[in-house]
Structure 1
Amino acid sequence: MPDIPALLWFRRDLRLADQAALLAAAEEGPVVPVYVLDDEGAKHRAMGGASRWWLHHSLASLDADLRERGSRLILRRGRADAELAAVAEACGASRVHCIRHYEPWWRNAERAVAKRLDLVCHDGNYLAPPGSLTTGSGTPFKIYTPFWRALKEHMPPPWPTNRPSTVPAPKTWPASDKLDDWDLLPTKPDWAKGFGKEWTPGEAGARRRVDAFVKRAGDYDETRNLPSIEGSSRLSPHLHFGEVSPAYVWHRVADAGGSVDIFLSELGWRDYAQNVIAEYPDYPSKNARDKFDKLPWRDLREAGSDFDAWTKGQTGYPIVDAGMRQLWTTGWMHNRVRMIAASFCIKHLLIDWRKGEQWYWDCLVDADYGSNGVNWQWVAGTGLDSNMFSRIMAPLSQSEKFAAGDYIRQWVPELAKLSDAVIHDPEEHGCRPKDYPAKIIGHREARERALKAGKHAK
């Protein structure tokens, strides 16, 4: 085996199993695993606070896994191309292996790295490489349903590979930053105290989460919309950080029976979102439908107090407030409630969807550039494939329809003593506790204002 090492560039693929870049690098000789914290390249899309908490613990887990196999993780901070070039020079490497990424800043970084080093990109973060599926005329899919039909024709994905028992090490190791020096964890104040109760970042935590979900994957369609029941998989942050591959998840759950196909289609939606940003890199910040550029959003100088109430879970709408408080406490929100809360921000408060998207970006441990942008534009009605703007989710009836009583009691303790008959709308039933806010706007009033704004856009 040659003594010349190759670099293994980790980003959102923090795993050793089903890791094509690792296997390719190890076949060539010694491997130097590297993670570069590149806030400069990402600029305003640098990871938010919740994602940085997750990253700290995921990197610590990855380093421990590598050390068990005779290796270690080199940490550097700065421009990815410059730091990788410096590491390569220090250890005599000239080649870099990585999993291909599709966020615009990572595509820019790959081009910059390729100018300095021999960059070899591999697929592995999605069920099918983004851009590989096209319509009959050879153009990218814009609508999810035909995209999913095309993706299913290529499923199941290739069988995932196992973690190697050893990772060949170089004779000498280049210098590395210390993870604690990056200050990824909040301290003053430590607003992430509740995160550790909910999550175990890292490959082992991801696999345990998959194991737990397999047992109930067959009931997914019946339970996924019920916030009071653990019906969703909670795999989104593990998938986002690449601690487990979608191929591994697919093969573990595909035979669960029942309504597991609905869950598999959600994995497909994740692929769809990456295809969208591969074709439209600024999708999370630009209306896909130009006519909505004329929509008269409220200026935050006028609506700032309403936006603050939304972020703090103080809107007077229990299902919305429960979701926003869950988000702040755990870095995650139930998917049905995410849509309700997003719709409330957009339609009830008439606040530009991009403001809400940025809040989710900072607060979610699974904040994903593609999925976040596509989902917000779907709710807003501004996307390539989206709800109509005139479709306004009614949070009060949604709360009752999806039996959110226990969920509200958990996250809005002011309402914990209320019965199911009144908890979804205590103000309407005349039993709103004094320590719970009144509605910041009535549903009918908000709906009429939103419809008027939508007509203006047309």
Structure 2
Amino acid sequence: MTSIVWIRKDLRLHDNPGLYHAAEAGKVLLVYIFDEDEKVGAAQKWFLHRALESFEKRLESAGGKLYIAKGKPEKILKDLISQYDISAIHWNRQYEPAVFNRDREIGETLHDQGLDVNTYEGRLLLPPWDVKKKDGEPYKVFTPFYKAMQKHDIPQALPSVKNIKTVSFNKKDSLSIDDLNLLPEINWTDGMEKRWTPSEEAAVRRFHAFLDKKLKVYKDKRDFPAEEASSALSPYFALGLLSVRSVYHSIKKNAEAAGEPFIRQLVWRDFAYSLITHFPETETDPMNDQFEKFKWMDEKDQFDAWKKGKTGFPIVDAGMRELWSTGYMHNRVRMIVGSFLTKDLLIHWREGADWFDDTLVDADVANNVMGWQWVAGSGADASPFFRIFNPTTQSEKFDPDGEYIKRWIPELKKIPLKHLHDPSSAPEDVLEEAGVTIGEDYPEPIVDHKAARQRALDRYDDVKK
């Protein structure tokens, strides 16, 4: 049997169900198609380019070759099936609403044409339709979803593919990775190059380092960005360089008690995919329809200040500068900057989600939408709208020594800790000694938090009425 393996967000040899089962069945044509209609942000395009380079080398070590194309998958697959006398196709499912619907149509068409169509779960712990209430309805609250998932057996990870019998193709027929034009014309990726190694081997090394050194302190230190106690595995999950099932079972086997808080985070990821699968409209619309009438603001200058890390609130600015430099932001800080955008500035969560999509190397539609709707108060199991983070007190609590702020806002390094979290309130002599002029070296706060908080609560009261 000769099969196509349609490679997508699964750039690994270990626990890759589509590749594993096709390789077991016979000869394979490995196909990667870059569909320009799929939304891929600029930062993730860089990560994808590097990940494809490393994946190509991994495939070659197992005897495989990657056929690369750009365009409409339905047309490219149809042509390849005809050209290479393909009898079966295998792929690991994606659940972004538009992609899932497109893939289903492709599968149905190919099946009707007599092809053996095989799809697999290679992205999540369980498919998003497996964990439901007794009445068959999907969960909208995380805790019961988590409890229900604990009653399911999570399949073990499949072994790495060691031997691939590849269909021969003319190299001229395939594009090179460079032909996909994923890298920016102007180089702004130095910070990402220093922070990330986009390869399956690097993903596994990072996970084992987390398992050996950080997992035992994860519960107590994960909310403190200067501690770097989080796993930072999300970019590898986003493009499938790391198997979530493999991670799950490794933690269960080696550190079950200490690993429970991290297991919850893996299940949150499944929960996000369950939500976007069962409620695809939430990609753009609020799950809580009260928010259809919420009066958001459109302040371009304030939005630009937020994006550039020039709001005058150090913890917010540190997070946004980390994001711009590395393509990543600590999860606690994501909540703080999200609350600031949607509640202090009253800018629509979709604007923040779009910016994150473009600037995060771990951009992931399901997690991004769930996170932004959660912080805006409009999603499933959301933080109540009236929970409005005070950026200064959040900063004092989660960056108590100011290490994170100083790392990303070097112009504030000489400000005494007493005033570091709110430098605009520091006495003139303190600012002068630190060499900082508010409004010149560092911006004045673009809003008064107390007044902004009250404005947000008033808007919310209007909606409730």
TM-score band w.r.t. shorter chain: over 0.9
1:436 corresponds in structure 2 to 442
Contact 1:113/1:119 (8 A) holds in 2: no
2:372 corresponds in structure 1 to 376
SS of the equivalent of 1:343 reads: helix
Which segment drifts farther, 332-341 or 282-291? Answer: 282-291
TM-score by length of 2: 0.93
Which segment drifts farther, 102-111 or 444-453? Answer: 102-111
For 1:98, give the aligned amino acid: W
1:152 lines up with 2:143 in the alignment: no
Contact 1:91/1:173 (8 A) holds in 2: no
1:138 corresponds in structure 2 to 136
2:183 corresponds in structure 1 to 185
For 1:50, give the aligned amino acid: A
CA drift at 1:440: 0.4
Distance in 2, matches of 1:109 and 1:6, equals: 20
Contact 1:353/1:380 (8 A) holds in 2: yes
1:408 lines up with 2:405 in the alignment: yes
For 1:410, give the aligned amino acid: R
Distance in 2, matches of 1:333 and 1:119, equals: 39
CA drift at 1:252: 2.1
Distance in 2, matches of 1:32 and 1:152, equals: 38
Contact 1:218/1:258 (8 A) holds in 2: no
SS of the equivalent of 1:261 reads: helix
2:339 corresponds in structure 1 to 343
2:204 corresponds in structure 1 to 207
Q: Percent identity?
A: 40
Distance in 2, matches of 1:244 and 1:24, equals: 18
For 1:125, give the aligned amino acid: R
CA drift at 1:79: 0.8
RMSD of aligned residue pairs (Cα, Å): 1.4
SS of the equivalent of 1:39 reads: coil
SS of the equivalent of 2:227 reads: coil
State the Cα deviation string for residues 47-98 of structure 1 (Å, max 9, x = none): 0101111110111111110011111111110111111122222222132100
1:100 corresponds in structure 2 to 93
SS of the equivalent of 1:9 reads: strand
2:308 corresponds in structure 1 to 312
SS of the equivalent of 2:29 reads: strand
Distance in 2, matches of 1:54 and 1:450, equals: 37
Distance in 2, matches of 1:352 and 1:406, equals: 31
For 2:271, give the aligned amino acid: Y
CA drift at 1:144: 0.7
Gap change, CA 1:154 and 1:218, over 3 Å in 2: farther
For 1:129, give the aligned amino acid: P
Distance in 1, matches of 2:102 and 2:179, equals: 24
For 1:307, give the aligned amino acid: F
For 2:300, give the aligned amino acid: G
Contact 1:84/1:113 (8 A) holds in 2: no
Contact 2:23/2:163 (8 A) holds in 1: no
CA drift at 1:12: 1.1
For 1:414, give the aligned amino acid: E
1:276 corresponds in structure 2 to 275
After TM superposition, the structure 1 = structure 2 runs for residues 437-452 of structure 1, keeping only pairs within 5 Å, are 437-452=443-458
Contact 2:399/2:405 (8 A) holds in 1: no
1:51 corresponds in structure 2 to 44
1:24 lines up with 2:17 in the alignment: no
TM-score by length of 1: 0.95
CA drift at 1:27: 2.0
Distance in 1, matches of 2:277 and 2:256, equals: 33
Distance in 2, matches of 1:80 and 1:218, equals: 44
2:105 corresponds in structure 1 to 112
2:245 corresponds in structure 1 to 247
Distance in 1, matches of 2:3 and 2:170, equals: 12
Contact 1:340/1:395 (8 A) holds in 2: yes
2:32 corresponds in structure 1 to 35
CA drift at 1:131: 0.9
For 2:277, give the aligned amino acid: A
Gaps of 5+ in 1: none
Gaps of 5+ in 2: none
Which segment drifts farther, 130-139 or 252-261? Answer: 252-261
1:15 corresponds in structure 2 to 12
CA drift at 1:171: 4.1
1:455 lines up with 2:448 in the alignment: no
Distance in 2, matches of 1:229 and 1:400, equals: 14
Which segment drifts farther, 304-313 or 201-210? Answer: 201-210
Give the number of aligned pairs. 446
For 2:239, give the aligned amino acid: F
Distance in 1, matches of 2:133 and 2:306, equals: 40
State the Cα deviation string for residues 355-395 of structure 1 (Å, max 9, x = none): 11110111001111100000100000001210111110111
Distance in 2, matches of 1:235 and 1:227, equals: 15
CA drift at 1:118: 3.6
Contact 1:17/1:163 (8 A) holds in 2: yes
Distance in 2, matches of 1:7 and 1:263, equals: 36
Distance in 1, matches of 2:331 and 2:104, equals: 35
SS of the equivalent of 1:421 reads: helix
Contact 1:33/1:73 (8 A) holds in 2: yes
For 1:309, give the aligned amino acid: A
Which segment drifts farther, 316-325 or 14-23? Answer: 14-23
State the Cα deviation string for residues 208-250 of structure 1 (Å, max 9, x = none): 1101110211211111000111110000010111111111111
Distance in 2, matches of 1:47 and 1:172, equals: 28
CA drift at 1:257: 5.3
SS of the equivalent of 1:427 reads: helix
CA drift at 1:173: 5.0
Distance in 2, matches of 1:118 and 1:105, equals: 23
For 2:104, give the aligned amino acid: R
Query: What is the aligned counterpart of 1:165 among 158, 162, 165?
Result: 162
Query: What is the aligned counterpart of 1:76 among 50, 69, 73?
Result: 69
For 2:7, give the aligned amino acid: F
2:382 corresponds in structure 1 to 386
